Amino acid sequence: MKALDELTFDNRFARLGDAFSTHVLPEPLDAPRLVVASDAAMALLDLDPTVAETPVFAELFGGHKLWAEAEPRAMVYSGHQFGGYTPQLGDGRGLLLGEVYNQAGEHWDLHLKGAGMTPYSRMGDGRAVLRSSIREFLASEALHALGIPSSRALCVIGSDTPVWREKQERGAMVLRLAHSHIRFGHFEYFYYTKKPEQQAELAEHVLNLHYPECREQPEPYLAMFREIVERNAEMIAKWQAYGFCHGVMNTDNMSILGITFDFGPFAFLDDFDAHFICNHSDHEGRYSFSNQVPIGQWNLSALAQALTPFISVDALKEALGLYLPLYQAHYLDLMRRRLGLTTAEDADQPLVERLLKLMQNSGVDYTLFFRRLGDESAALAVARLRDDFVDLAGFDAWADQYKARVARDGDYSEAQRRERMHAVNPLYILRNYLAQNAIAAAESGDYSEARRLHEVLSKPFEEQAGMEQYAQRPPDWGKHLEISCSS
């Protein structure tokens, strides 16, 4: 275990120089204080979790202090936002403080979000509010616990600094961890500004640091792009299988590592709804739940365009062609497991599709359905779940097929079935209303709810004593919360 001043830095992105990022110092928050920290994320830096409670921790991650070896930088990038190209974006309110490596030799970027104005702030104030910081923290750590690749979050630091959104709120900072903060939009920036040398430097950097195994391939850049396609297909399959809606899948929010990145008005589905739009400024539903799948491919095409200086168009097209079949394979594999199946049959896909249609028509809770399906034998579980459906004849027909399918799948005990299914079907997910409760308490100075919710969500598959209230459908007020896009 390390003390806070023992972190070891190796700022490889900063060393790329001023064409890639600008030196900017964090702007401190007034009266910084710990809201919540993640012990699991602390462990990634070899930090003893108790240091989170020390005043120097809030000073470091509230922008008051810096390690001598830190090199805070605002990165430049661009990106396609809602389908249109924005020529210059960049870290408008976040700073890459530096890259730290742990005892296992893993490198982690320390990124402080809400750290004040930068040359890329455009009309913004460089700040993040407590509300959105808590949401990002909870989501990052909850997705990770579900096995969905995501950036991580070390802590949220709250403050007295006033920040204006629709009303006056308070500023906060989130310390985000990721192996890289490079987005699709980084490649787009150097491609569209016609800077081939920097574009090549960036590609080399990503290849060397993040895809070294692709070096061995005859065409290393193509191998790297293929890997990015594969990782995105797998990540989005997991979003769809677990009901996660990102909300702002602009190419500047897509990580070259295939991790969930940049949390805004995201949501987990309560009732299953393929058409769900979590972002209230997304009037056309570009980033609706079911559109996430084709948008994943659209975004990869935008990245492919930016890689045309290195890879032939035909090879890029071929690699893009991998996306949908890979997505389908990962998705179906996960959905089979969610249904408790251990073998594969061709008819599993229509079995899943029919179930989702029935759930959609009856507004069935997506998470609880699968959890309860694993509570008992298939026959007992479907008999109990039947009451949640309006189209009883439709459900009965599905249930008969499901029971027959389970019988063909293998001969295992109810206990084996439960254990296997509960290991992939969470009991606790980050429902919007749960986040809202934690935020309301935190805004009045009580951080205990945010901390408790974080704890519960760190073990989403394990039933936790006394935590029944976190495994319920939302109350009426919490069903269709409009999550503000301002953050």
β 107-113/168-178 pair status: antiparallel
Question: Binder to ligand AMP among 124, 162, 325, 350 (CB under 6 A)?
Answer: 124
Phi, psi (rounded to 5 degrees) for 222: -65, -45
> Count residues contacting Mg ion (CB under 5 A)?
2
CB nearer to ligand AMP: give 32 or 265.
265
| 27 contributes a contact to ligand AMP by CB under 6 A | no
User: Is 263:249 a contact under the CB 8 Å cutoff?
Assistant: no
| 455 contributes a contact to ligand AMP by CB under 6 A | no
Q: Which tokens go with 43?
A: 């462990």
* Residues sharing a CB contact under 8 Å with residue 338, sequence separation 6 or more, in sequence order: 241, 370, 421, 424, 425
Which residues have a catalytic role annotated?
252
Spatial separation of the C-alpha atoms in residues 442 and 450, rounded to whole Å? 7
The amino acid present at 231, given as its one-letter code, is R
Neighbours of 212 (CB within 10 A): 11
Question: Binder to ligand AMP among 89, 115, 352, 434 (CB under 6 A)?
Answer: 89
CB nearer to ligand AMP: give 89 or 245.
89
CB nearer to ligand AMP: give 91 or 227.
91
CB 79 to Mg ion: min, Å:
8
What radius of gyration do the chain's Cα atoms show?
23
| 270 contributes a contact to ligand AMP by CB under 6 A | no
CB nearer to ligand AMP: give 174 or 382.
174
The runs of H, that is alpha helices, within 64-169 are 130-146
| 262 contributes a contact to Mg ion by CB under 5 A | yes
Question: Binder to Mg ion among 132, 199, 253, 299 (CB under 5 A)?
Answer: 253
Q: Which residues of 169-179 are buried (b: 16+ CB within 10 A; e: fewer)?
A: bbbbbbbbbbb
Question: Which of Mg ion, ligand AMP, none interacts with 125 (beta carbon under 5 to 8 A by kind)?
Answer: ligand AMP
CB nearer to ligand AMP: give 127 or 371.
127
Q: Which residues within the stretch 381-420 sit at the binding site for Mg ion (CB under 5 A)? A: none
Region from 120-128, 168-176, 207-215, 279-287 binding ligand AMP, contact rule CB under 6 A: 120-128
Neighbour-count burial of 387, counting CB atoms closer than 10 A to its CB (0-12 exposed, 13-18 middle, 19+ buried) = exposed
DSSP lists the bridge partners of residue 164 as 168
Helices (H) and strands (E) in the chain, counts: 16, 13
| 243 contributes a contact to ligand AMP by CB under 6 A | no
The amino acid present at 297, given as its one-letter code, is Q
CB nearer to ligand AMP: give 186 or 405.
186
Q: Which residues within the stretch 353-392 sit at the binding site for ligand AMP (CB under 6 A)? A: none
CB 185 to Mg ion: min, Å:
9
Neighbour-count burial of 33, counting CB atoms closer than 10 A to its CB (0-12 exposed, 13-18 middle, 19+ buried) = middle
Question: Which of Mg ion, ligand AMP, none interacts with 264 (beta carbon under 5 to 8 A by kind)?
Answer: ligand AMP
Region from 107-115, 256-264, 297-305, 310-318 binding Mg ion, contact rule CB under 5 A: 256-264
Spatial separation of the C-alpha atoms in residues 451 and 454, rounded to whole Å? 5
Residues forming the site for Mg ion (CB under 5 A): 253, 262
Residues forming the site for ligand AMP (CB under 6 A): 89-93, 120-121, 124-127, 248, 253, 262, 264
